A and B are shown apart, each in its own frame.
Chain A
Amino acid sequence: DGGITQSPKYLFRKEGQNVTLSCEQNLNHDAMYWYRQDPGQGLRLIYYSQIVNDFQKGDIAEGYSVSREKKESFPLTVTSAQKNPTAFYLCASSTAGTLSMSQHFGDGTRLSIL
């Protein structure tokens, strides 16, 4: 079955530590997205990529970094510069060229601070 896999499901970060969240898709989608979700709030866009080796900042990119070396993979690194990283992180993908079409989501990674 095609879909998006996020790992790990739960992640703990120590002070001053960088952590990387994995996102893999086998939907053959060109576009991929990372969102942050805080309790009682909607999704806020961190980074997105429309094609391999290219990505753009979203609304809250500070303290995060990404790479897009393969079509299937779009890992997100939460750096020590992100002072309030505790949140639910969602990865999504869609068919590029039709950016107004629906997005497919993974089941998220919940990041907490130790």
Chain B
Amino acid sequence: SQQGEEDPQALSIQEGENATMNCSYKTSINNLQWYRQNSGRGLVHLILIRSNEREKHSGRLRVTLDTSKKSSSLLITASRAADTASYFCATDQGTDKLIFGTGTRLQVFP
């Protein structure tokens, strides 16, 4: 399968804790993107990291990319109940399309 894989499949934490989710992929990439999906809604783009970048920040989000291990991680700091959602990574492998992973379901309890 071309799809990337997120790990863990599901994650439950308390508000205020940090949440880390990982994405692995199989081929070389131009960039990797992270998206959030609230239940029953479309995806929302969070952050894009290019293959020559190792780390990127956006507000409470921190993304790292290790091209030698073909993996990326998304860290959400000081999580809130509103962060409850599914999170997907997507890779640009130099074709005309993004390849989406299977997602991590995050539950943040108040």
What residues of chain A have their CB less than 8 Å away from a CB belonging to chain B?
A: 4, 6, 33, 35, 40-45, 48, 50, 56, 58-59, 90, 92, 99-108, 110
- For window 41-90 of B, CB contacts with A under 8 Å fall at 41-45, 48, 88
Q: Does the CB pair A42–B97 fall under 8 Å?
A: no
Q: Does the CB pair A42–B43 fall under 8 Å?
A: no
Total CB contacts across the A-B interface at under 8 A:
54
Chain B residue at minimal CB-CB distance from A31: B96
Chain A residue at minimal CB-CB distance from B46: A102
Contact with A along B17-54 (1 / 0, CB 8 A): 00000000000001101000000111111001000000
With contacts A56-B96, A100-B92 known, is A108 near B40, CB below 8 A?
A: yes
With contacts A42-B101, A42-B103, A45-B97 known, is A102 near B42, CB below 8 A?
A: no
With contacts A90-B43, A105-B42, A108-B41 known, is A100 near B103, CB below 8 A?
A: no
Q: Does the CB pair A102–B100 fall under 8 Å?
A: no
With contacts A48-B97, A99-B96 known, is A43 near B88, CB below 8 A?
A: yes
Chain B residue at minimal CB-CB distance from A3: B42
Residue among A33, A59, A100, A104 making CB contact with B31, cutoff 8 Å:
A100
Chain A residue at minimal CB-CB distance from B97: A45
Q: Does the CB pair B96–A102 fall under 8 Å?
A: no
Chain A residue at minimal CB-CB distance from B9: A40
9 interchain residue pairs of minimum CB distance = A105-B42, A102-B45, A100-B92, A42-B100, A43-B100, A105-B43, A42-B102, A107-B42, A100-B30
Chain A residues within an 8 Å CB radius of B102: 40-42
Q: How far is the CA of A112 from the CA of B97 in the complex (A)?
A: 27
Q: Which of B33, B42, B96, B98: most chain A CB closer than 10 A?
A: B42
Chain A residues within an 8 Å CB radius of B41: 107-108
Chain B residue at minimal CB-CB distance from A99: B96
Q: Does the CB pair A103–B45 fall under 8 Å?
A: yes
With contacts A42-B3, A99-B92 known, is A108 near B42, CB below 8 A?
A: yes
